[in-house]
Chains A and B, each alone.
Chain A
């Protein structure tokens, strides 16, 4: 049930998810017993590990280590746990995990993090084992009662059966008998052939409350007595507050307090409208600091200069230098702009700070970091910081940062009441951590219609070095080279190097598709250029070099067939192909686009063939690819953040455009059946769309696009014949 101490509803008290699970909260710790149950006849709850809790009424509570931000992970995690537990899926109740790295760290990153499309990859085995171990204990308990061999029992939908004797027991009835049992360290897992849930497009558990307004996102938190604030940070990154004239703002009705901190000003009011009016009425003089003169030109000059330097070698095969010195050297450079995340839910965080406690309501992809940043600012011990991790209205990497929590806690230190800090969309766009600018220099030589020499230099910011310093080793950012160092094509001589270059002024961060976004765009665009040079069809050219990547070859064939590759198209229309092996998934994507004489682009159709290994929930996988493709199309067609005088020039959806429904192409996603380990899927569509579209535009117009977003003026007036 809803835990009143953990989440206080506002004027309208309502529940979270279907049956009303608590939204985080430290109380869970009380239930966690690492492996052995206490020998206590009073046992009322069976909690064999941190992910599963079954009470004597039969309620099966599954604890979600990963956060739900639209990717369907709650349902997917629940399916994996319930599969091995053999629970009745329609009766499970979900609960968000509290901050606790010891229990819920992502096995890949060693901290609680939802990102890099790796939830299923990272938790696939741990969750199955957790479910299987719990089931083994329940079987053991019933076998003891019935005095039969556990191996003669079976489970189904929340019950244990002993078919020989016709006996059965519900999990609820077995709870009290689990006391004293020790969970097996390595419980047997189901064979994939016996999966009942995994592989089915089960209905999502988070969506019913999303059609009626009941779901609570971070921005919806309404603790009693909450006040509302909005803020302005210095428009120039790194700048400080100089002087604030609040005489007019203070006099506005509903404005309660003006909070002036070193780097930001916030207005606290009775409601967001008052706070916003107050903020607009402030006259703030900023001390703009060293970035006050930085413009996009400076950024590009620096990046281009850096890309001329030798990088740190990320991968070397054969003799790239030698191979590149023979025959015609084909070279090209590709550039990607800064991008904002523009999650539909603007950044926000609600904080209630008292002398000895801090309660936070937020949507975060890094829960333990959310807690830690509050502890650091307040000086309170971790156990005094309660974080309610609410559903997320769009993450895309933005909520892998805790700057919104940092700011809200610092504001809360000045405010006597609980305060909900909501950023305006303008603040959200102008104070993001941006997908970095990248420049990729590629060169290759061809022989016999194949690539024989390949050099790829990636130049860009290292997000890893800031975000996960231990992973930044020997000058290599493992994210920045992802999908480049492990290029899937069979190339005998290749060299991939990385130049770290931090752009002036602009903070950089992970953005849906991360490193592969850049690399897949550059590589797949260049592959098309090389195919043209080789005089080969882009699909055939690629296919001939996939001898060592049969899964990729299979999706290529499927996508080409489904898209009607090679079928004639009317003038001004073209098809483009892009392949990728990012995030542990194999994807081929064909885009079909039309370019009119004015240079305006219409994306007509996209076909993706996907091999992501074992699929837990096919419909969710399809949805993620569909959505990811649209996210990528938005970036390719419109996305660019620019700066002038140290300030981000975009501010809202009128100047930072999003693809809308009328521009959305028909999208087909074809899944390949596979028994391989599950791959990641959330970001794959995003990396696939831009190169596929760029190649389609090339096919339609003969214009090669080496920068994003697509410059229509390069396409305008282009005669095609």
Chain B
């Protein structure tokens, strides 16, 4: 049994330690908000937080997480920056198909966690790992800036 702290709850899962967190979240725990996109950390759709830091869950062996707190898209509203980002996303209608947006929101929230007032270069560095096929990048950039300004 592996014990995980996910969105504030303790969850015990009986899975191999090398199983990526992504599939534990989706297939074992039913937390399907975290998405499978590429499986090789190239698209960012599977991004979750470990202690507030963005991590690609598709390659993260669940056995290596230990005590670190996992936050997924289902729990991000409980964090101040997560709530701000979600609101800006809706205010600016960032989203189209939405499939990549869980990952985008997780990456954007993590950016605000360390850089409260990001400039374009900060946004590029933090968000370039998240692919959006619908092409919502222009609005993602605007929404991050708006969220940063909001109180």
- Residues of chain A at the chain B interface (Cβ within 8 Å): 10-12, 69-72, 201, 203-204, 206-208, 210-217, 219-220, 222, 228, 253-254, 270-273, 276, 342-346, 391-396, 422, 424-425, 619-620, 623-624, 626-631, 634, 652-654, 658-662, 664, 666-667, 685
Contact = CB atoms under 8 A, between A and B. Distances in A.
Contact of A211 (B35, B89, B131, B133): B89
Contact of B99 (A394, A619, A685): A394
A207 B123 CA distance: 23
A253 B16 contact: yes
B63 to A, nearest CB: 12
A392 B98 CA distance: 9
Given A70-B134, A271-B23, A654 B42 contact: yes
B135 A210 contact: no
B62 to A, nearest CB: 9
Interface in B102-137: 102, 105, 123-125, 127-137
B52 interface: no
B43 A653 contact: yes
Contact of A207 (B38, B93, B128): B93
A208 B87 CA distance: 9
Nearest to B141: A661
A425 B137 contact: no
B10 interface: no
A272 B19 CA distance: 10
B40 interface: yes
Given A207-B93, A210-B95, 15 more contacts: A12-B31, A70-B97, A204-B95, A210-B101, A212-B73, A220-B26, A273-B15, A344-B45, A424-B39, A425-B37, A623-B136, A628-B135, A661-B128, A662-B128, A685-B135
Contacts of B35: 219, 344-345, 393
Contacts of A217: 99
Contacts of B97: 69-70, 343-345, 391-395
A619 B94 CA distance: 10
Given A222-B30, A271-B23, A661 B37 contact: no
A654 B131 CA distance: 12
Determine chain A's interface SS by DSSP, over half rule. loop
A220 B105 CA distance: 19
A624 B140 CA distance: 14
B135 A629 contact: yes
B3 to A, nearest CB: 18
A54 B117 CA distance: 47
Given A343-B133, A344-B97, A12 B30 contact: yes
B74 A213 contact: yes
Interface in B35-73: 35-40, 42-43, 45, 72-73
A656 B28 CA distance: 31
Nearest to B37: A344
22 contacts: A203-B93, A207-B90, A207-B93, A211-B73, A211-B105, A212-B73, A213-B102, A271-B19, A271-B23, A272-B23, A273-B19, A273-B20, A344-B35, A344-B97, A393-B99, A394-B99, A424-B39, A425-B37, A624-B96, A631-B133, A661-B137, A662-B124
Nearest to A344: B99
Given A213-B32, A344-B99, A623-B136, A272 B42 contact: no
Nearest to B19: A273
B138 interface: yes
B133 A344 contact: yes
A661 B130 contact: yes
Nearest to A626: B138
B96 A344 contact: no
Nearest to A217: B99
Nearest to B120: A662
Interface of B: 15-16, 19-20, 23-24, 26-40, 42-43, 45, 72-74, 76-77, 86, 89-90, 93, 95-102, 105, 123-125, 127-141
Q: 5 closest A-B pairs (Cβ-Cβ)? A: A213-B33, A630-B135, A393-B99, A70-B97, A11-B30
A623 B135 CA distance: 9
B87 to A, nearest CB: 8
A658 B101 contact: no
Name the residue among B34, B43, B72, B123 with the largest chain A CB count within 10 angstroms: B43
Given A213-B72, A664-B138, A653 B99 contact: no
Nearest to A617: B93
A666 B141 CA distance: 10
Contacts of B101: 210-211
Contact of A393 (B98, B123, B137): B98
- Residue of B27, B38, B74, B127 with most partner-chain A CB within 10 A: B27
A222 B25 CA distance: 13
B135 A626 contact: yes
Contact of B23 (A70, A207, A273, A628): A273
Contacts of A662: 124-125, 127-128
A658 B133 contact: yes
Contacts of A219: 32, 35-36
B77 A222 contact: no
Contacts of A220: 26, 32
B25 to A, nearest CB: 10
Given A203-B93, A630-B137, A659-B135, A344 B33 contact: no
A424 B90 CA distance: 31
A254 B100 CA distance: 28
B27 A273 contact: yes
B146 to A, nearest CB: 14
B98 A627 contact: no
Given A10-B30, A69-B97, A660-B128, A394 B134 contact: yes
B73 A627 contact: no
A425 B98 contact: no
Most chain A CB neighbours (cut-off 10 Å) among B16, B28, B35, B38: B38
Contacts of B130: 661
Contacts of A212: 33, 73-74, 76-77, 86
A344 B15 CA distance: 27
